[in-house]
């Protein structure tokens, strides 16, 4: 398998299975992975024979978020601000449902990719979180305001401000995950759900999805504008550089507030 294949694309009938393929890097998103994921989402959306997608990660982890080494090497703009933003997914206008199949950790941008999907199944051992506040950043790929739309304010603030991860059981109880399942069966379960949906009338599915999204999308563009302004400022900050460096050096960051 080519080293360049950081995102895999396969079809099973009317279902597209999109796989993040950087298991040694916990499927973290660098610029090339972002481009390949964006291309995969475009391929899925534009293929009239494909009705439902599944997003999964190769290996024991779904996705650890933005690759902080790539961030330190100047790839942040390409990763976070291209068409559709992170992975070409988090802010892309879509017509077809995507199901996240989550093993292990869905953290930072990985959690935001999951939140951008329409349904999610996960293993009992999965964990979810937005640790950006521990790295001098914000959850600028939609996580900050999507959590606020889904959860009570106090719970959303807890996850955002502490940066601590939550368990699969708690995520399911909060309505962030549709179903918890054993690890060996999670991808199979996601594909089963996708097939079930793909059996329904495509136009009905798309129209239903569009109506469901409208209930929470009023004013979303304003959220993106503010999120981008804040994120760009933070990406240039000393604390953001310190967060990435401390993570790479496996030490506690020393924040300066600059």
Residue 77 bears catalytic tag: no
Residue 132 bears catalytic tag: yes
Of 3, 24, 42, 112, catalytic: 112
Of 75, 132, 221, 242, catalytic: 132
3-state secondary structure the chain: CCCCCCEEEEEECCEEEEEECCHHHCCCECHHHHHHHHHHHHHHHHCCCCCEEEEEECCCCCECCECHHHHHCCCHHHHHCCCCCHHHCCCCCCCCCEEEEECCEEECHHHHHHHHCCEEEEECCCEEECHHHHCCCCCCCCHHHHHHHHCCHHHHHHHHHHCCCEEHHHHHHCCCCCEEECHHHHHHHHHHHHHHHHCCCHHHHHHHHHHHHHHHHCCHHHHHHHHHHHHHHHHCCHHHHHHHHHHHCCCCCCCCCC
Which residues are annotated as catalytic? 112, 132
């Amino acid at each position: 398998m080519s080293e360049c294949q950081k995102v895999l694309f396969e079809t099973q009938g009317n279902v597209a299975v999109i796989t993040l393929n950087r298991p040694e890097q916990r499927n973290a998103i660098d610029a090339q992975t972002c481009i390949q994921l964006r291309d995969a989402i475009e391929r899925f959306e534009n293929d009239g024979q494909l009705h439902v997608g599944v997003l999964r990660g190769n290996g024991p982890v779904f996705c650890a978020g933005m690759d902080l080494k790539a961030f330190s090497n100047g790839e942040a703009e390409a990763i976070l601000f291209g068409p559709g933003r992170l992975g070409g997914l988090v802010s892309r206008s879509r017509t077809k449902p995507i199901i996240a199949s989550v093993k292990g950790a869905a953290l930072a941008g990985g959690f935001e990719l999951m939140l951008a999907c329409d349904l999610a199944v996960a293993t009992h051992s999965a964990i979810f979180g937005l640790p950006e506040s521990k790295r001098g950043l914000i959850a600028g790929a939609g996580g900050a305001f999507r959590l606020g739309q889904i959860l009570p304010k106090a719970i959303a603030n807890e996850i955002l401000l502490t940066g601590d991860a939550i368990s699969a059981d708690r995520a399911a109880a909060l309505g962030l995950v549709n179903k918890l399942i054993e690890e060996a069966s999670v991808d199979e379960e996601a594909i089963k759900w996708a097939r079930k949906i793909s059996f329904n009338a495509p136009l009905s599915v798309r129209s239903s999805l569009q109506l469901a999204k409208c209930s929470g999308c009023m004013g979303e563009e304003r959220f993106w504008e503010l999120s981008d302004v804040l994120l760009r400022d933070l990406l240039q900050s000393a604390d953001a550089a310190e967060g990435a460096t401390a993570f790479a050096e496996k030490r506690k960051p020393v924040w300066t507030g600059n």
